[in-house]
Structure 1
């Protein structure tokens, strides 16, 4: 049986992934499906670089701004939502184009996830309460006593993943590391064409810096201030949005704006570097786009997609 086609576009922040996805959607009657763990939330459209009205008017976009920021979105939940959108695209005769820089999301959709049972709400609440009581450092020490393998993998600052490791251990009696050795489940059955947008380092650094300045000019300071005024749980995933804390500090008068911008730009560049590492070592792309997305390169990309769709396996 010939499997239906889907395209996955990965790459670091500010690399031009969204623009490429939109161009492909317009050219091939596609649906753009978000695989960015920040853009799924109905908050911070400027700081998370969510596609604007002009892009939304040119092609269908799915899974953008559809989850309340007070509600964590797990990779498993996103995978189920994305799988449904991929199926819907096929049913309507459209090409699913999954785009984003969250490697775990893309892996979940294309390769599946480890079969970790659903964790009861009480176990999640107990893990969070323990973290609140102990704080980062002491919680990490407690995790190291109970689950040294996961503690060795996780830095103290990664509160979200530490809490996840604890709740899995407490609810299942088994380390998250052990669950992750099990065969993966739930991958979408598709023929995937994977494109990696991988700009040269200097150009990517400039793009990261320039985009954050553009965000500030577009109103990111007021957006950050209004969002932080909601006083949400600090361990929620959305609270890790790049630049949120830095601009919040400026809004409170804790630091000058130029310092807040510089710190956020530095964090953005570091995040882009980590994303590039994932692309190089985990994605195994069919096509690496390491040059400017010029007209000639776009012609080559379109030809690749066209050939892929016409070549059954």
Structure 2
């Protein structure tokens, strides 16, 4: 995928205060798909929301309990059901008694090898949130914004008191998001980016990577990037029918080989979207211009 060079890894397990109402704790799960690791965000002061408790990792769980420091947890909030975001909900709920709220559980059969993080099949929220639903505590409110695309159930959460948005994996601070069918949908992903572009959020706090200080600029860039990829596909197919691997070879020159399966999934997502719009069609193992 397209990514920025990795800076020195930030410290895992430490509380980093981002603004008076927001802190984060980095999980020790770096990888080609998670960058320096999953970032769990804590919202509030007297009482808290914990957004995306991360993987089922004992060290990260203990770090979160230290960060919570005995304060009441109003809600454990989940943006989506991938294994680097939601498994930590179970231990945190057992420790705090807080309800698990947010994204719906999604269980889908796949049509090919997965390249993104595997589903957390045990994820079971106490309350599923939809567009406009809120959870609140003393001095803070989190409003759900439906942002499907990376996954079918993905939610972002706005913090209107400060103008911040917790963007999960829909918009990240280091790379474009993987869109892997059938759960990932490129048409939905683009529509969700357009939805965020129409907002006036001050800053994004993503699940991976640093805070995004000029979010509208980044979202415009992500939309442009995806349209550029779509144009590449259409130009390649205008020359000759091609399979996905052959397209990826032309489109992602110099990509880390570990990320090639993810690139193939994103190209497939583009092709499915183009097929729906009547721009391409399948012919056996290859795709052709319509």
TM-score (norm 2): 0.31
Higher strand share: 2
State the structure with bigger RCO (CA 8 A, min sep 6), 1 or 2: 1
Q: Say which one has the larger Rg.
A: 1
